[in-house]
Amino acid sequence: MGKAESFEFQDMGKYSSDSEMSNGSKKGGCFVSTAIGFVLTLLAACLAVGVGLIVHFASPGDLECKCTYPGLTSGNGGTGAIVGGKATTITPGSALIDQCKGIVNDGNTEICSVCPNVQITSLKPTSSSPAQATTTTSSPTSSRDVRLPRNIKPDLYTVELQPNMYEGPAKDFTFNGTVKIKMICVISTPEVVLHINKLNITGSITLSAVDDSSFAYVSHSFDSVRQFIIIRGNKDLIAGHNYTIEMSFIGPLKDDLHGLYLSSYKRGNKTVYIATTQFQATDLRKTFPCFDEPAIKAKFDITLVRKSHMTALSNMPKIASVQRGDDWVADTFQTTPPVSTYLLAFIISDFNYTSAVTTNNVTYRAWARPEAVEQTRYALSVGVEVLTYFEDYFNISFPLPKQDMIAIPDFAAGAMENWGLITYRETAMLYDPKESSEGNKERVAVVVSHELAHQWFGNLVTPSWWDDLWLNEGFASFVEYMGVDHVHKDWKMFEQFVVEDLQDVFNFDGLVTSHPVYVPVTHPDEINEIFDRISYGKGASIIRMMRFFLGEGTFKRGLTRYLNGRKYDAAFHDDLWFALGNQSKDEGKDINVKAIMDTWTLQMNFPVVMLKRDHNNIVVTQKRYLRDYGAKDPGKYVSKFNYAWEIPFTFTSQSKANFNQTDQDVSWMHKNNISLLLPSISPNDWIIGNVMQYGYYRVNYEESNWNKLVQQLDDNHEKIHAINRAQIVNDAWNLAKSGDLDMRIALKTVNYLAKEREYIVWEAALGELGYVDSMLERTSLYGSFANFMRDTVEAPFNETNLADSSLPHLQSYVRSLISAQACEYGIQKCIDQSKELFKNWMSSPDNNTINPSVRSTVYCTAIRNGGVEEWDFAYQMYKISNLASEKSRLMSSLACSRETWILSRYLQYALTPEEIRKQDATNVIVHISRNPVGRSLAWDFVRANWNKLLKDFGEVLYKFARLLAGTTSSFNHPFDLMQLEEFLKAHPDMGSGTRAFQQAIEKTKSNIKWMESNFNVVEEWLKSRGY
Ligand SMILES: [Zn+2]
């Protein structure tokens, strides 16, 4: 999925042959039991169909897991190599066996999530064989057994869906349909278990055997907790035989943003309805009964039934249209390749499109409301270019004949990578050169690139289970930069990465309530929770680090190896490590990628590396960084590496400054300390560790070195690369927050800021200064701080002009940042210009001449310094704007008012769908909470409307966590903490908000601590600078 909206600037081969799918080598199993005195029995019994790996760890225990691991080949030197396809032999040294042993040895109760393709079977005394394993679907549900048994494998679904949304009130809309599933039985079983949720079965269920006419349906039952339907025949289904199941059903068509759902938009006073889908992670089962797990791929024949004035779209091209009478038309689509259930998409709309054909002959169409179709052209051009670029980069053709992108008026995430039919929220796809800012433009390019990256990472090769979600999202979040960089070299995307992703996720990953990149998850609530910054931002950051230490060429060839090895199939993260490790071995580098990357993915947080001089050496040590070392670790995750990492360390120094380093410059710092010789480096030189911040770690120095760096910034900051300038600021401030560094030094790193002109450094610095602002905003010190900020931005502000529309991309970014500060901290010229520009617009509403890149500042300033007249005008413009990104700017600016009653009214609007679209409601509340006047209003509002918010947004990916984090981010008083704790006590059942609430408590505690330790220091520093 694409990143969600509230990140405002940037916020989610050939068709495989059937013979590959039916190849027996895909079947296999590994049975693991928890053990007292672990006994390994390699049964060497390839009892399942075909040849593969079957390992049985049998011992008395209370839980048994079965893992199937398709296509495992013999190990390479005992380390294990995993390649899809024609595997025939297994050696005991293979990775999976080692892994299974390790799991059991550790007594790890999470075993079922660690093994790929896991199935939980009944409690067994010892030594059961796979053919005898029976699934206990009716046993009491533990948190671990929500997974489907693997005894049935679907091959081809034939599905028909008909939304009924043309007559009567929207609350009565429904959809009905039929599904027929051709399946093969892999392990004999008395029943078929598949997913269903919120559907009513209509008519009878048919269960038949292809080669046994006496086989028939007998009964079915539901397990509503696990969202299962269990269907039984008059005899067992036998391994190796083919079966078919058929059902018809009906379900509600609601505007709930999940499954097959209702969206709408206004044309004049008329509401136009469309039906669209969002299935990730577990919502296809709301649309038709299916085997709804990512590793259970199958082919799909889809038919969508629509009224004649509408258009139907799905993953594949349409191949036939049949009139059904009464104005109904049934469109049938080409059979899909094997695809995971969550990647399907069905849309019925009256949209129009623009189109192009890529150089490799893929038809590319961009769809939107007819009124907005012209705004699709930029996304289309980026899409066409990036799709071809990725085909070249991965060296694998896009496997589908067409690619559609479509802008949906109501959408929960930023975008969704459905194979061949990518859905976007409008702000992530629509762009109008006259009305959209440079930031809007970049966001469109980034999201388009992100979703296209998924067509390979996620769609062609899919994580076996949601615990490896990061394989999807981390990759797409890194590769998106490559795609945009290809189209817009001058945007310096790889520099932007450091502030947008790496430093951003450090904030989250420095908390004890963080989580490892790889997380065992089962329940849908848990799955939804991990669509967070760790999976996206940390995933991307450690992949960037890996690209650096492997070298670009090895990385690229290793990725192609991984994708080709697992295409049309599922993968476990070890598959990636082995593909990259074996590639490096083939190229003579022999880097043990798994051993390195396990330390970054299986434990949470990250290290801070300390550099100390010792004569001509630097001694380099590492420790776990925590923003608050006193915070109590909830103990949910235990590090098996004792919070030590395999670190690709790099450094440079003053007299031999080199910011252009490669994998050849890496000194490996294993999970221990290292000592590096620094020949002929003068003791007067500064040293910088983690050159270009390729590594996912912070760096700390002795005070003398920090002072030399500060001196360098003051004297000639350009001697240090902009990325490392941003790093120095970010590390220093965050080391001060954690108590690893004296705050006085951190403050000195921004002394030179008035001379800085690079976007990423301003972004890093304003992130920290913005934090100080939020801590001080209710204190007596705020006036002095505002004066300091005003003086710092004055010089760069005076070089810019709010009306200049010719600035290049990154300069425009700098102006946006600087002018926002200038107006906020009261530079009169900025306020006057903004008011003037806004007044001109008010006097001719149809002709907005304000440069899109400064509109946010101009709107906010005019509303902050204006009254109800300005607010009502902006709200009116918000209501009638046809461009989503302009709407979004107005929406956030409306929160800038200083009038309490206006803000209260705006909060009420947020929960009134006729005023504010449901998808934007939480954003409005968060925007208001960022206004010092609105902060307590917003928090009171959240508490007063808790049940409604939880009901409306608790299940929506991202939103609820954002709402909580947003409204509580500047809590810094013991009274705030007390409120949070009392609220938690009163609402123990928070669903997907649990983690976010714990984080809010932790954040508040650390804010309180910051105030205790730093308030006086900041006061002293301001005084010393004359404020
Ligand atoms: Zn994504």
pLDDT digits (tens, 9 = 90+) for 63-81: 233 333 333 333 332 222 2
CA of 714 to the centre of ligand 1 (A): 41
**pLDDT classification of 680: cutoffs 50, 70, 90:** low
Ligand 1 centre to CA of 597 (Å) is 21
Give the Å distance between the CA of 466 and the centre of ligand 1. Answer: 13
Q: Which residue has the higher pLDDT, 1019 or 269?
A: 1019
* pLDDT for residue 31: 28
Distance CA 86, CA 50 (A): 11
User: Per-residue pLDDT averaged across 782-805, rounded?
Assistant: 93
Q: Residue 91's closest CA among 70, 74, 71, 104?
A: 74
Q: What is the distance between the alpha carbons of residues 166 and 175, in angstroms, rounded to a whole number? A: 11
Distance 725 CA to ligand 1 centre (A): 30
My answer on whether omega of the bond before 170 falls inside 30° of 0, hence cis, is no
Q: Nearest 10 degrees: CA dihedral of 785, 791, 792, 794?
A: 140
| Residue-level length of the chain | 1027
- Helix, strand and coil content of the chain, in percent to the nearest 5, comes to 45, 20, 35
- How many angstroms does the Cα of residue 531 sit away from the middle of ligand 1? 9
291, HSE (Cβ side, Cα atoms, 13 Å): 28
**Contact status, residue 473 vs residue 539, Cβ threshold 8 Å:** yes
Ligand 1 mean position, distance from CA 2 (Å): 4
Q: What is the pLDDT of residue 69?
A: 38
Phi and psi angles of residue 357, each rounded to the nearest 5 degrees, phi first? -125, 135
pLDDT at 676 over 80: no
The closest of 40, 234, 49, 226 to 120, measured between CA atoms, is 226
- pLDDT digit string (tens) for 325-347? 999 999 999 999 999 999 999 99
Q: Cα(319) to centroid of ligand 1, in Å?
A: 29
Question: Which three-class secondary structure state does DSSP give residue 342?
Answer: helix
DSSP lists the bridge partners of residue 298 as 339
pLDDT band at 678 (very low <50, low <70, confident <90, very high): low
Name the packing angle between helices 994-1024 and 959-968 (round to 10°). Answer: 30
724: left (phi over 0), alpha (psi -120 to 50) or beta: alpha
Q: 416 CA to middle of ligand 1, Å?
A: 7
Give the β-pairing of 363-368 and 402-408.
Answer: parallel
- For residues 906-925, b (16+ Cβ closer than 10 Å) or e, as one string? bbebbbeeebbbbbbbbbbb
CB 406 within 8 A of CB 422: yes
- Ligand 1 mean position to 12 CA, how many Å? 4
Mean pLDDT of 534-555: 96
Classify the C-alpha dihedral 823-923-535-624 as positive or negative: positive
β strands within 268-362, DSSP E:
270-278, 299-307, 311-314, 318-325, 328-333, 346-349, 352-357
Q: How many CB atoms lie within 10 A of CB 171?
A: 10
Q: What does the radius of gyration of the chain's CA atoms come to, in whole angstroms?
A: 29
> Containing H/E element for 705?
helix 703-716
Would you state the pLDDT for residue 427? 86
| Burial degree of 90 (CB within 10 A; 0-12, 13-18, 19+) | buried
Q: With a cut of 80, say whether residue 422 has pLDDT above it.
A: yes
Q: What are phi and psi of 441, to 5 degrees?
A: -65, -45
Amino acid 650: pLDDT:
94
- Å from CA of 382 to ligand 1 middle: 17
How far is the centre of ligand 1, averaged over its atoms, from the C-alpha of 471 (Å)? Answer: 10
* Of 961 and 194, the one with more pLDDT: 194
CA–CA distance, 260 with 271 (Å, rounded to integer): 19
Residue 291 in contact with residue 298, Cβ under 8 Å?
Answer: yes
Ranking 431-445, 919-933, 950-964 by mean pLDDT, the lowest is 950-964
CA distance 852 to 116: 48
pLDDT for position 3? 52
In the block, which residue shows the tokens 């009638």?
880
pLDDT in tens, 595-615: 999 999 999 999 999 999 887
Which H/E stretch holds residue 383? helix 377-394
Residue 702's identity, in one-letter code, is E
Exposure class string for 700-729: b at 16+ Cβ within 10 A, else e: bbeeebbebbbebbeeebeebbbbbbbbbb
Flag whether 450 is marked binding. Answer: yes
For residues 802-821, give the mean pLDDT. 92
* Integer Cα distance of 686 and 516 in angstroms: 34
| 491-533 residue pLDDT tens | 999 999 999 999 999 999 999 989 999 988 877 777 777 778 8
Tell which residue, 73, 75, 32, 64, has the closest CA to residue 139: 64
Angle between the 593-601 and 539-550 helix axes, to the nearest 10 degrees? 160
Is 473 marked as binding a ligand?
yes
> How much is the mean pLDDT over the chain?
84
Mean pLDDT over residues 8-18, rounded?
25
Over the stretch 840-890, which tens digit does the pLDDT of each residue have? 999 999 999 999 999 999 999 999 999 999 999 999 999 998 887 799 899
CA–CA dist 822, 828 (Å, integer): 8
**167 in a labelled binding site:** no
Q: Is 210:243 a contact under the CB 8 Å cutoff?
A: yes
- The alpha carbon of 1 and the centre of ligand 1 are apart by a number of angstroms equal to 3
Tell me the two tokens of residue 179. 């599904």
Question: Ligand 1 centre from 419 Cα, in Å?
Answer: 12
How much of the chain exceeds pLDDT 90, in percent? 69
What number is the average pLDDT over the span 295-310? 97
pLDDT at 522: 74
Q: Is 718 a catalytic residue?
A: no
Q: 357: number of CA atoms within 13 Å, CB side?
A: 4
Residue 443 clears pLDDT 60, i.e. is over it: yes
82 - beta bridge partners? Answer: 72
Which whole number is the average pLDDT over 612-619? 82
**Angstrom distance (rounded) from CA 774 to CA 1007:** 10
Q: Of 451, 495, 529, 955, which is the active-site residue?
A: 451
Any residues with CB less than 8 A from the CB of 811 and at least 6 apart, and which?
Answer: none
Residue 791 pLDDT > 50: yes
pLDDT at 781 over 90: yes
456 DSSP 8-state letter: T
Structure tokens at 826: 């009261």
- CA distances for 814 relative to 763, 773, 854, angstroms: 9, 20, 11
Distance CA 761, CA 735 (A): 17
Q: Output the CA 281–ligand 1 centroid distance in Å.
A: 12
Secondary structure (DSSP) of 887-943: HHHHHHHGGG---HHHHHHHHHHHT-TTTS-GGGHHHHHHHHHHSTTTHHHHHHHHH
Tell me how far apart the alpha carbons of residues 409 and 265 are, in angstroms, rounded to a whole number: 7
- 529 C-alpha vs ligand 1 centroid, how far in Å? 14
pLDDT score at 889: 93
Most confident of 101-110, 294-303, 927-936: 294-303
Rounded Cα distance, 158 and 34, in Å: 40
626 CA distance to ligand 1 centroid (A)? 28
CA 383 to chain centroid: 20
In this prediction, residue 319 carries a pLDDT of 98
Predicted confidence at residue 402, as pLDDT, reads: 97
Work out whether the CA dihedral 631, 632, 636, 640 comes out positive or negative: positive
Give the model confidence (pLDDT) of 889-902 as tens digits: 999 999 999 999 99
Q: Is the pLDDT of residue 747 over 50?
A: yes
Q: How far does CA 159 lie from the centroid of its chain?
A: 30
Q: How confident is the model at residue 679 (pLDDT cuts 50, 70, 90)?
A: low
Classify residue 319 as exposed, middle or buried by CB count within 10 Å of its CB (0-12, 13-18, 19+): exposed
Contact 729, 711 (CB under 8 A): no
| pLDDT of res. 148 | 93
Q: How far is the CA of 452 from the centre of ligand 1 (A)?
A: 9
